[in-house]
Amino acid sequence: MSPHRTLSYHSRRQPTTVQDIFLGIAFILAPASEGKSSRDLEYTAVLHDGTGVVGSETFHMDYNEKNGEVAEAKRVSEHVLKLMRKIQTEKGMNIRLLAIAEPIPSELRGKKGVEFSATVWLHVDSIPFVVTPKTTIFAKLPTPSTQASATSAVSMALPHLHPATHSATIADTSPTDHRVLVDSDHQISLCSLLQYEQSTSPELWKRFLALTKHLREKKTTLTFFSATPQGGGVALMRHALIRLWKLVGLEVKWFVPEGHPTVFDITKRKIHNVLQGVAPEGVEMDDNDKKWFELWTQQNYESFWSQGAIDADLIVIDDPQLTALIPIIKKERPNTKIIFRSHIQIQSNLTDDPKTAQHRTWNYLYSFVKDVDLFLAHPVKLFVPKNVHENLPVLYMAPSTDPLDGLNKPYGRASVRYYRQYFNQLSSSQCGVSIDWERGYICQIARFDPSKGIEDLLEAYLKFRQKLEALDSPPIDGGPQMIIMGHGSVDDPDGTVIYEKLHEIISSKEYELVQGDVAVVRAPPVGQMEDEALKFRAILFWA
Q: For position 118, which CATH number holds?
A: 3.30.420
pLDDT score, position 506: 95
pLDDT score, position 534: 62
Q: CA angle, 467 as apex, 462 and 473 as ends, to 5°?
A: 130
Question: Residue 190 in contact with residue 118, Cβ under 8 Å?
Answer: yes
In-domain check, residue 169: no
Assess whether 225 and 361 both reside in one domain: yes
Assess whether 237 and 349 both reside in one domain: yes
Q: CA angle, 329 as apex, 326 and 330 as ends, to 5°?
A: 85
Assess whether 383 and 422 both reside in one domain: no
Q: CA angle, 184 as apex, 178 and 189 as ends, to 5°?
A: 140
Average pLDDT, rounded, for the chain: 89
In-domain check, residue 524: yes
The residue from 371, 396, 421 where one domain ends is: 396
Question: Residue 507 in contact with residue 515, Cβ under 8 Å?
Answer: yes
Q: CA angle, 523 as apex, 519 and 525 as ends, to 5°?
A: 155
Find the domain containing 508 and state its range: 413-542
Assess whether 361 and 485 both reside in one domain: no
Radius of gyration of the chain (CA): 26
**Which CATH number is 280's domain given?**
3.40.50.2000
pLDDT score, position 535: 59
Q: Which is nearest to 529 in space by CA: 234, 192, 162?
A: 162
Assess whether 218 and 365 both reside in one domain: yes
pLDDT score, position 513: 95
Assess whether 113 and 226 both reside in one domain: no
Please list the residues that pair with 42 across neighbouring strands.
Answer: 28, 60
- How far apart (Å, rounded) are the C-alpha atoms in residues 221 and 275? 32
Quick one: CA dihedral 173, 179, 185, 191, positive or negative?
positive
In-domain check, residue 7: no
Hey, what's the torsion of the CAs at 334, 336, 342, 347, to 10 degrees? 30
Assess whether 349 and 200 both reside in one domain: yes
- How far apart (Å, rounded) are the C-alpha atoms in residues 283 and 100? 53
In-domain check, residue 280: yes
Assess whether 273 and 325 both reside in one domain: yes
Q: Which is nearest to 314 in space by CA: 253, 245, 227, 368?
A: 253
Q: Which amino acid is at 83?
A: L
The residue from 121, 137, 161 where one domain ends is: 161
Assess whether 241 and 312 both reside in one domain: yes
Assess whether 267 and 386 both reside in one domain: yes
In-domain check, residue 183: no
Phi, psi at residue 214, to the nearest 5°?
-60, -45
Assess whether 344 and 454 both reside in one domain: no
pLDDT score, position 533: 62
In-domain check, residue 168: no
The stretches in the chain having pLDDT less than 50 are 1-5, 8-14
Assess whether 308 and 456 both reside in one domain: no
* pLDDT tens-digit readout, 123-176: 888 999 999 999 888 888 998 999 999 999 999 999 999 877 777 788 899 999
Give the distance, in angstroms, between the CA of residue 169 and the centroid of all CA atoms in the same chain.
8
The residue from 112, 138, 161 where one domain ends is: 161
In three-state secondary structure terms, 63 is: strand
pLDDT score, position 407: 79
pLDDT score, position 13: 43
In-domain check, residue 177: no
* pTM score: 0.85
Query: What's the total number of domains in the chain?
Result: 3
